[in-house]
Amino acid sequence: MSAMEQDTSVVEPQPPPPAQKYAGKNVGIDYDALERDLVTQRSVALEQGDFNAALEALLNLEKQMRLAADVLGTRKVVVAIIQLCFDANAWKALNDQIILLSKRRAQLKQAVTAMVQQAMQFIDKAPDLDTRMELIKTLNNVSAGKIYVEIERARLIRKLAKIKEEQGLVAEAADLMQEVAVETFGAMSKTEKIAFILEQVRLCLDREDYMRAQILSRKINPRVFVTEDVKEKKKPKEGDNIVEEAPADVPSLMELKRIYYELMIRYHSHSDDYLDVCRCYQAIYDTPSVKDDPSQWIPVIRKICWYLVLSRHDSMQTSLLNSTLEDKKLSELPIFCTLLKQFVTMEVINWVTFWENYQNEFEQEAKLSGGSLGDKAADSLRQRVIEHNILVVSKYYLRVTLKRLSELLSLTLQETEEHLSELVVSKSLMARVDRPAGIVYFQSNKNSNEVLNGWARNIEKLLDLVEKSCHKIHKETMVHRVTLKVQ
């Protein structure tokens, strides 16, 4: 026997490719044959009752498709395995197969993604809470550290946090949600990102962690709620990130806007920032769906008026006050129109009469949407009335005795001095108190340059008036002479 014959005698035939069983005539895999085999194994497990044999056969099919690097075939088999475990009510086998399939050598990313997405549909169908928690933890462990299932992981964390919150573990639910930074997810839709961050903010407010709630709320730019003309969606180019559609349970952008500002109202109400609360209600009022529904805009505009009155006097408060008065819808609420006009008119407000007129409306806010104005609101309202009265007096007097000022404000001397000092400290008013003489000066001390400049301006005005007067006298004299000559 020659050497060549010896060599050929020891050559063994090559094994067929792993997926040769499903090879078609002109294409790689015969998916129709694969589908028929999957249906057969499903029948073996559910109708004949041989679950283990069917599962073993499907795992062999998965191995063949995976080694052949066939994405579509592997996804079909993996999803069939997960679906079979669910239909057979084998929840322990379901968890085991998810872990096993995800750890197999050279497992395809698309197969893992399809498996996680399919298993997530079974969470709400679990027979009890323990089974649901176990499935969520299994999927959470499988998706941890995998960027191609980061969106699914975020949704799992949200489901787990909801369960923790229902159990009364708000702090644990907040900690779970804060671990996920959805603002970095390029494939997540804008509305789902906003909804996730708002859920983080809400949990922080529920656990009274106001500092972290503020930090999280800054991840949302309020400009994102400004609706623009809908443009035709362009087809994504090659290499662009494909943004997934938001789930059906995610609210629309306008609904998210309202949720955002309601959470901001809760945050600002904690620190009694009445002007910021008013601006949040103003943003809700500017929503088209609210403006078109009287049952919605009437409670909101009532809150806007009250919080405007409760806000400290500054340029922003004055601007919002005037713009609200110009709103035509306010004319349908004459009592609130009168309320705002009282704080615009430069007249002293009598607190006793004011409270008698508006006490019922003030207490009625607790029964309307948005709730009461706060525990300190009544005291703050009296404080704003006193501040308004002091500002009115400062417009009419350069100096006034402290006793007379107390009579105008209906306060004691000590209370008058305290309120006056608070306005001076907040730089809302320029005033000095001569306590031995008991006189209040509503003007600042001027230096020599300011005094000289004031004199110069006054002399210039005086000379201008003298010149105009002389010109008119001369004109009348000339007209009178002409009249005498004609006669």
| CB-CB neighbours of 21 under 10 Å | 14
User: Do 324 and 302 belong to one domain?
Assistant: yes
Whether the Cβ atoms of residue 433 and residue 414 lie closer than 8 Å to each other: no
Alpha helices in 311-349 (DSSP H): 315-325, 334-344
Q: Which among 364, 395, 426 is the end of a domain?
A: 395
Amino acid at 336: F
Give the pLDDT confidence of 426-442 residue by residue, as tens digits: 888 888 888 888 888 88
Long-range contacts of 48-53 (CB under 8 A, 24+ apart): 51/84, 51/88, 51/90, 51/93
User: Do 311 and 202 belong to one domain?
Assistant: no
pLDDT exceeds cutoff 90 at 201:
yes
Structural domains in the chain (count): 3
Domain assignment of residue 155, yes or no: no
Domain assignment of residue 479, yes or no: no
* pTM for this predicted structure: 0.78
Is residue 246 classed as helix, strand or coil in its secondary structure? coil
Domain assignment of residue 8, yes or no: no
Closest by CA position to 102, among listed 153, 142, 149: 142
**Of 8-12, 231-235, 284-288, 450-454, which range is least confident?**
8-12
Spatial distance between the Cα atoms of 20 and 62, rounded to a whole number of angstroms: 14
Mean pLDDT of the chain: 83
Closest by CA position to 222, among listed 186, 196, 198: 198
> DSSP readout, 184-239?
G-SSS-HHHHHHHHHHHHHHHHHTT-HHHHHHHHTTS-GGGGS--PPPPPPPPPTT
User: Do 291 and 375 belong to one domain?
Assistant: yes
User: Do 278 and 258 belong to one domain?
Assistant: no
Q: Which among 342, 374, 395 is the end of a domain?
A: 395
User: Do 287 and 187 belong to one domain?
Assistant: no
User: Do 280 and 265 belong to one domain?
Assistant: no
pLDDT exceeds cutoff 90 at 329:
no
The token duo for 137 is 């933890």
User: Do 195 and 103 belong to one domain?
Assistant: no
User: Do 101 and 181 belong to one domain?
Assistant: no
What residues make up the domain containing 185? 177-223+246-271
pLDDT for 424 equals: 85
| Rounded percentage of the chain residues whose pLDDT exceeds 90 | 18
Give the pLDDT confidence of 90-149 residue by residue, as tens digits: 889 899 989 998 888 888 889 999 999 989 999 888 888 888 999 999 999 998 888 888
pLDDT exceeds cutoff 60 at 1:
no
Whether the Cβ atoms of residue 53 and residue 59 lie closer than 8 Å to each other: no
User: Do 184 and 267 belong to one domain?
Assistant: yes
Q: Which among 361, 395, 429 is the end of a domain?
A: 395
Q: φ and ψ at 444, to 5 degrees? A: -85, 155
How long is the chain? 487
Domain assignment of residue 87, yes or no: yes
User: Do 20 and 139 belong to one domain?
Assistant: yes
Whether the Cβ atoms of residue 273 and residue 211 lie closer than 8 Å to each other: no
The radius of gyration of the chain from alpha carbons, rounded to an integer in Å, stands at 39
User: Do 85 and 117 belong to one domain?
Assistant: yes
Domain assignment of residue 165, yes or no: no
Domain assignment of residue 129, yes or no: yes
pLDDT for 64 equals: 87
Domain assignment of residue 429, yes or no: no
The order of strands in the sheet holding 439-441 is 399-401, 439-441, 432-434
Domain assignment of residue 6, yes or no: no
User: Do 86 and 114 belong to one domain?
Assistant: yes
